[in-house]
Chains A and B, each alone.
Chain A
Amino acid sequence: MSGQEKIRELEKFAVQIRVETLKEIGTLGFGHLGGAMSIVDTLAVLYGGVMNIDPQNPSWEERDWLVCSKGHAGPAVYAALALRKFFPMEELETLNKPGTRLPSHCDRNLTTGIDMTTGSLGQGASLAVGIALGNRLDGRTSYTYLILGDGEIQEGQVWEAVLYAAHQKLDNLIAFVDYNKKQLDGYTKDINDLGDIKAKFESFGWHAQEVDGSSVREIYEAIEKAKGAKGRPSVIVLHTVKGKGCRFAENAFLNHHMTVSKEQMAEAIAELEQQLQTG
């Protein structure tokens, strides 16, 4: 497959993830739509090609790991996992239903393919450092990927992990910051400004890049570059849009946790499916 075709395929995968995420949340009627949508293009790149994983053998020891530290984006991760056949697509309809294996926040004990339990923001950063250390100790060449929210990196724990990962020269750790400029109560710059995220990571000793987080090509290329950075962990700051690909969510100021009507869901899905055809 040519590079161009591969990119095209990843773009399609991203649209499919968006459609399925919308169905999950829309069927329930509410959920963390904004932060799920903003990270979809990265999930498409990771699950659509970059990550060395085996849906038949989800706990394969040599696999790459993903810690989605912003655990409330679970529904988007579940969509990617189902599309990659980690579990049946029908299961997506059970989001948050009694007895479900798909809770609103990622849970390693419930969902096939979910590597780590998250939901209390900040904790995933340390967990990813531990996983990367452990795999290195065992001589594995696998990568650990970590997805952080921009609001989430206000947690001090994140910076403890960032400091220690650099100290440990963890070049098998690649982190993403979903820089959608928003958190629950509004814009990060109005609440607790993050300043220059890339420079902050660099000053902690990380290899840092900044890309368009809605471009699968840029994300893909950044991961390739990150893998080339030896002797230090890598971060990719993703410029994203909260609610991306879902017009009513993009347009709402408070789009962290939203109600979704059947009409809104249908309209948004129709728009996305249009993209799949024309693209």
Chain B
Amino acid sequence: MSVILAEKRAKEEKDMRDVYCETLMELAGKDRRIVALDADLMNSVGMVPFARAFPERTFNVGVQEANMIGVAAGLSATGKIPFAHSFAPFATRRCFDQIFLSCGYAKLNVRIVGSDPGVTAAFNGGTHMPFEDMGILRNVPNITIMEPTDSVMLKDLVKQTAGLYGVFYIRLLRRSAVKVYEEGSTFEIGKAVQLRDGSDASILATGIMVDEALKAAETLAEEGVSARVINVFTLKPLDKEAVIICARETGAIVTAENHSIINGLGSAVAEVIAENELVPLERVGVNDQFGEVGHVDYLKEKFNLTYDEIVKRVKKVLTRKIK
């Protein structure tokens, strides 16, 4: 791992989906085993250039996610390295048994890419808004679950998974992310990244909430509160050591995720601190609710996925600190 933090956090120029496609094309150019599967959402995820460049290694099965996952698992049994995409709810919820058994239990080698995490499903509304995708998949033994923060991390993680064996879930923002890492940064799957040091409390964040967490820490600093910010981009295997160190050194933790607090990052962190180093915890995330339609900013407010909320919860967690 060698991380260079971006000097200025701003929306990246390129959409994450285009970087995903470019990266996969680069990999496929070097390795004939790379194959891409989709369930009628290749245009949505920007994979048309890949399909044009590698038509014989593109399998767009149509609207049939469960079949896609099974086919991907079958392809991997013959040594292929499949990347299978659909919108996150359909790539996970819709075909959980296929992921669990055909991929996980059968010990095959499949990368599942689920796009439009949480509120970023926006105008597609509640049916398409996954607050549970990572939570469902945490139940698959040995699966690796990652939520790349920006395009630099996305590129690095996609490349790494191509060389690894197992079942991987990549939670993909389709549009542009806020740049957090400089070009050339590399990451270690399962190792959280510290973005800002602090001593009063730690904010553990993933996905679009990383930027909110950094904003919250900046706001808190103005008020004299020193908050550490950690990017937990791998939900499973969770970086337990990092969580325990945060608990020990700062004595209070706030998690922030664009996902349900049930079975997501908040739950995973709660499990670790309850068993190892009990400190007060506040979980910012979706609180046992279904999604709804609207633009992203409205939805972030609606589901309390804002830096304001993080600030509030850090203040709250400080009042609960064990004296």
Contact = CB atoms under 8 A, between A and B. Distances in A.
B44 A103 contact: no
Contacts of A105: 124-128
Interface in B298-313: 298, 302
B66 A184 contact: no
B131 to A, nearest CB: 15
Interface of B: 38, 40-44, 60-64, 66-67, 89-90, 94, 123-128, 292-295, 298, 302
B66 A103 contact: no
Contacts of A103: 125-126, 292-293
Contacts of B294: 96-100
27 contacts: A30-B123, A96-B294, A98-B294, A98-B295, A99-B294, A100-B293, A100-B294, A103-B126, A103-B292, A104-B125, A104-B293, A105-B126, A105-B128, A119-B127, A119-B128, A120-B94, A122-B63, A151-B40, A154-B63, A154-B64, A156-B66, A156-B67, A185-B43, A188-B62, A191-B62, A192-B64, A256-B43
Interface in A158-216: 183-185, 188, 191-192
A184 B67 contact: no
B174 to A, nearest CB: 13
Most buried by A among B43, B64, B124, B302: B64
Interface residues of A, number: 32
Contacts of B298: 98
A68 to B, nearest CB: 13
Interface of A: 30-31, 71, 96-100, 103-105, 107, 117-122, 149, 151-152, 154-156, 183-185, 188, 191-192, 254, 256
B60 to A, nearest CB: 5
Most buried by A among B67, B90, B127, B294: B127
Given A96-B293, A103-B293, A183 B123 contact: no
Q: Interface SS of chain A: helix, strand, loop or mixed?
A: loop
B64 A155 contact: yes
A31 to B, nearest CB: 8
A100 B299 CA distance: 13
A154 B127 CA distance: 19
Contacts of B40: 151, 154, 183-185, 191
B60 A185 contact: yes
Contacts of A254: 43
A155 B61 CA distance: 10
Contacts of B302: 98
Nearest to A95: B293
Contacts of B126: 103, 105, 107, 119
Contact of B60 (A30, A118, A191, A256): A191
A121 B89 CA distance: 12
Contacts of A152: 63
Given A96-B293, A120-B94, A192-B62, A104 B44 contact: no
Nearest to B291: A103
A185 B42 contact: yes
A104 B293 CA distance: 7
Contact of B63 (A97, A99, A107, A155): A155
A185 to B, nearest CB: 5
Contacts of B89: 120
Contacts of B123: 30-31, 96, 104
Contacts of A149: 63
Contacts of B44: 184
